[in-house]
Amino acid sequence: MKNSSGEFSTLNYPSRGHPFSVCLWKIVLPKDKYISLTFPEFSISRDPDTGECIDLVELVLDPSDKLSLTDGVRLGHVLCGQAPPLILLNTSLVVITYKTGLDAESLGFRAQYESRSM
């Protein structure tokens, strides 16, 4: 996605995905911009007993960019359970990956991004 802002969601959101599915979204903005990412709707399952992700969302950045994220989110950080209200990425390129496991319990997510000036 190369627009200055946009919205994307998991396939057929809010419906359960297929087991062992992988979906990728790539946001690429001009080098002098950074990415603001929010998840207004986020239903990615976490095991209530172990706290481990059953399904997950992962953020992977361009390795040449420095990282500055909010709410303790880190490079390659995995999201499940509750998403942070706002993620600020000090980068112009990010790949968002959604992966389901065998049980594929999650309903998925709806996300929004926008370009911000550095």
pLDDT in tens, 29-78: 998 999 999 999 999 999 889 988 989 999 887 655 444 444 444 456 78
Q: Does the structure show a pLDDT above 90 at 111?
A: yes
Is the pLDDT at 16 greater than 70? The verdict is: yes
Q: Which fold has domain 5-117?
A: Jelly Rolls (2.60.120)
* Strand-pair partners of 65: none
Please name the residues in contact with 64: beta carbons below 8 A apart, sequence gap of 6 or more.
none
The string of DSSP letters for 4-57 reads SEEEEE-TTSSS---TT-EEEEEEE--TTEEEEEEEEEEEB-B-TTT--BSSEE
- Cα 91 from Cα 11, distance rounded (Å): 26
Which pLDDT score is estimated for 60? 84
What token pair was written down for 67? Answer: 């990282």
Domain extent listing, the chain: 5-117
